[in-house]
Amino acid sequence: MMKVLSSKSCELLCNLYEFDYYFSLLVEKEFVIDVVMLVMATTFLSLAFRGIINLFSLSPFIFYLDPLLVKAARGDPVSRPPAWMMRQAGRYMAVYRKLAEKHPSFRERSETTDLIVEISLQPWEAFRPDGVIIFSDILTPLPAFGVPFDIEEVRGPVIQSPIRSEDDLKALHPIDLEKLHFVGESLKILRQEVGGHAAVLGFVGAPWTIATYIVEGGTTRTYTTIKSMCHTAPNLLRTLLSHLTKAISEYIIYQVESGAHCIQIFDSWGGQLPPDMWEQWSKPYITEIVSVVRNKCPKTPLVLYINGNGGLLERMKGTGVDVIGLDWTVDMADARKRLGPRGHILNLGHGVLVGTPEEAVAHFFDVSKSLNYDGSSQNQSMEESKLLV
């Protein structure tokens, strides 16, 4: 039915749908309006408007554009190589050392939300890197699936009850993410703090690397027990690695859903295996993690780093990760030939060493930001970087 609406009727109708500020001037007496169509239109716009409001309330950081590091990790064109550092927060910074004096326990620093956020942001506030990695440890999730540990001043991490038998496996249980709430809380805050100006990175240990600690009972230089287990108790080791794979996959997804843009997988001790043994005892489990995470978080770039990976580059690529971290023993030109020229993220071959001058770290980031893929750069910074090297 067609009907002529008065200005007053139109105003009342618009007020009904809370859109008087949109529609109060749209209708004059001389226009013929289909009332049904107007109601449908205003209802649709009202729902859409409320949907936008709800979207903002659900995620305060959802509308930020992807940071430079995320684009580079996906292989998208970028203006310059993004830069961040492993061990970006740590004892080389005076502000960290001062905080550590007040909170001497590493586990307190890495398992308390306020401290995690403060420490993670220290290098961000000082140097403005392109990536802000959460201050944590690859062993942090162990108690959440049944493996308690301590960190001693001299010995480092100590596993109270190593897993070396079928009976020992009974201590394991599915990961309880509620026990890792401080990780999720910290990532949410970090994502809000850096906004779209930098990528927030989470990280995990790879199954093989985590297993070395659980089997050996802590750190080791020889890895004798776990290497022997590859031959004497392969089924036991596979069961342990499978359990770790599931737990780590869930932990990664939890980090992403909490706010991490990217995840780095540290197979720190994968290089202790010959390439053919790494292919058997590490690669399949990393590949499974990548598959599970891809299914749940398809847009999240995954990085794989192995200490001593020169003989593993092609095998690492076969896991399906987006980015491969090179250590200091690998010639980057050779790695580019072997892996392809897809892109580059600037980092260190291992991590910032204790005693590194903060001025050198600041200079590293300043020079990195002066480089451009179009070939232009600040000549002064380039000359200074040569002197620094």
DSSP for 295-330 reads HH-TT--EEEE-TT-TTTHHHHHTTT-SEEE--TTS
Query: Using CA atoms, how far apart are residues 245 and 252, in angstroms rounded to an integer?
Result: 11
Residue 149 CA to its chain's centroid (Å): 24
- Per-residue pLDDT of the chain (389 residues), as tens digits, is 344 444 444 443 333 333 332 333 333 333 333 434 444 554 444 544 445 444 444 445 455 689 999 999 999 999 999 999 999 999 999 999 999 999 999 999 999 999 999 999 999 999 999 999 999 999 999 999 999 999 987 789 999 999 999 999 999 999 999 999 999 999 999 999 999 999 999 999 999 999 999 999 999 999 999 999 999 999 999 999 999 999 999 999 999 999 999 999 999 999 999 999 999 999 999 999 999 999 999 999 999 999 999 999 999 999 999 999 999 999 999 999 999 988 899 999 888 999 999 999 999 999 999 999 875 554 444 443 333 33
Decide if 244 contacts 208 (C-beta within 8 A). no
Query: Using CA atoms, how far apart are residues 178 and 159, in angstroms rounded to an integer?
Result: 22
What residues contact 329, with CB distance under 8 A and at least 6 apart? 308, 310, 349
Closest by Cα among 314, 269, 263, 259 to 293: 263
Tally the C-alpha atoms within 13 A of residue 247's C-alpha that lie toward its C-beta. 31
Decide if 384 contacts 360 (C-beta within 8 A). no
User: What pLDDT is stored for residue 4 in this prediction?
Assistant: 43
Confirm whether 380 is domain-assigned: no
Closest by Cα among 72, 80, 43, 124 to 361: 124
Query: Using CA atoms, how far apart are residues 120 and 256, in angstroms rounded to an integer?
Result: 17
Closest by Cα among 183, 178, 111 to 144: 178
Confirm whether 47 is domain-assigned: no
Confirm whether 61 is domain-assigned: no
Structural domains of the chain, count:
1
Decide if 351 contacts 307 (C-beta within 8 A). no
Angstrom CA distances, 353 to 87, 93, 115, stand at 8, 10, 21
Query: Using CA atoms, how far apart are residues 23 and 181, in angstroms rounded to an integer?
Result: 47
pTM here is 0.82
Confirm whether 312 is domain-assigned: yes
Q: What are phi and psi of 282, to 5 degrees?
A: -130, -50
Structure tokens at 386: 């040569």
User: What pLDDT is stored for residue 154 in this prediction?
Assistant: 79
User: What pLDDT is stored for residue 26 in this prediction?
Assistant: 33
Confirm whether 6 is domain-assigned: no
User: What pLDDT is stored for residue 8 in this prediction?
Assistant: 42
What residues contact 319, with CB distance under 8 A and at least 6 apart? 283, 286, 287, 290, 304
Query: Using CA atoms, how far apart are residues 213 and 268, in angstroms rounded to an integer?
Result: 11
Helix (H) or strand (E) holding 202: strand 199-205
Strands 199-205, 131-133: pairing kind: parallel
Collapse the DSSP code of 130 into the 3-class scheme (helix H, G, I; strand E, B; otherwise coil) and give the result: coil
Confirm whether 221 is domain-assigned: yes
Decide if 345 contacts 304 (C-beta within 8 A). no
Structure tokens at 280: 């058997």
Confirm whether 234 is domain-assigned: yes
Decide if 317 contacts 287 (C-beta within 8 A). no
Query: Using CA atoms, how far apart are residues 351 and 142, in angstroms rounded to an integer?
Result: 23
What residues contact 146, with CB distance under 8 A and at least 6 apart? 171, 172, 173
DSSP annotation string for 151-177: EETTTEEEESS---SHHHHTT-----G
| Residue 271 DSSP symbol | G
Strands 199-205, 156-159: pairing kind: unpaired
What residues contact 2, with CB distance under 8 A and at least 6 apart? 32, 33, 34
Confirm whether 26 is domain-assigned: no
User: What pLDDT is stored for residue 291 in this prediction?
Assistant: 99
Angstrom CA distances, 384 to 326, 332, 371, 379, stand at 24, 21, 13, 9
Residue range of the domain that includes 147: 68-370
CATH number at residue 317: 3.20.20.210
